[in-house]
Structure 1
Amino acid sequence: MQTPLLQELDEQYMIQKFELLIKQAYQKGVEDGQTKFTYPPVLTKDHLAEILQIKKPTVDKLIKDFSFPRLQTIQARYPRDAVFAWIENNTAVLDKYLA
């Protein structure tokens, strides 16, 4: 059983941790907004080269991977949000092309 003082310290500690978590989530959101959403909803090969910091021949190899997101109706165009999600979820595939 905690004393009132220990209980109050626990509550203050939890409040501080919660405030830190909120601040970190906010900063992550700002960073995402500054990187992901500065690009248009539909990306080109030039965008991909810039985002991944690779040369166009490497982009050409990467987009041939069956798992890489692409628009079916427009040739050589890639959905921004799906591309960023793919990058986050496919680091092993990405490393294969960047090696």
Structure 2
Amino acid sequence: MSSMLDHLKSELMKEELKALFKEAYELGIQDSKKQYKYPLLLTKKDLAEIFQVKEATVNKIVGRRGFPKARFVSARYPRDEVFKWMEENSV
């Protein structure tokens, strides 16, 4: 009886973990679709869409110390570094 109960608990846990992993995977896919739909170098228009603000606010954001900027093209911002910056500078 105890062995059967342990087996049922094990199966239940396996199914719960499977559902949890599937949900985490799907959320990861959604997150990457949001990020990777943008080009490698972002424009201020892209940033306005990402931050959901007007371009005047984008000008303030990109003027902040430490905000990632492309070194070889003016007014372009490296996508992956921008998303990393967002994570590191969000509360």
Tell me the TM-score normalised to structure 2 length. 0.87
- 1:55 Cα deviation after fit: 0.6
Number of equivalent positions: 91
What percentage of aligned pairs have identical amino acids?
40
CA distance in structure 1 between the aligned counterparts of 2:15 and 2:67, rounded to whole angstroms: 41
Q: Post-superposition, which runs of at least 4 consecutive aligned residues in structure 1 deviate over 4 A?
A: none
SS state of the match for residue 65, structure 2? Answer: coil
- 1:9 Cα deviation after fit: 2.2
SS state of the match for residue 74, structure 1? Answer: coil
Structure 1 unaligned residues grouped into runs of 5+:
93-99
Counterpart residue number, 1:12: 11
CA distance in structure 2 between the aligned counterparts of 1:20 and 1:57, rounded to whole angstroms: 43
CA distance in structure 2 between the aligned counterparts of 1:46 and 1:80, rounded to whole angstroms: 13
Residues 1:62 and 2:52 are matched in the alignment? no
SS state of the match for residue 59, structure 1? Answer: helix
1:8 corresponds to which letter in structure 2?
Answer: H
Counterpart residue number, 1:76: 75
CA distance in structure 1 between the aligned counterparts of 2:69 and 2:8, rounded to whole angstroms: 53
How is 1:1-99 mapped onto 2 (pairs within 5 angstroms)? 3-92=2-91
Superposed CA RMSD: 1.7
CA distance in structure 1 between the aligned counterparts of 2:23 and 2:80, rounded to whole angstroms: 22
SS state of the match for residue 33, structure 2? Answer: helix
Structure 2 unaligned residues grouped into runs of 5+:
none
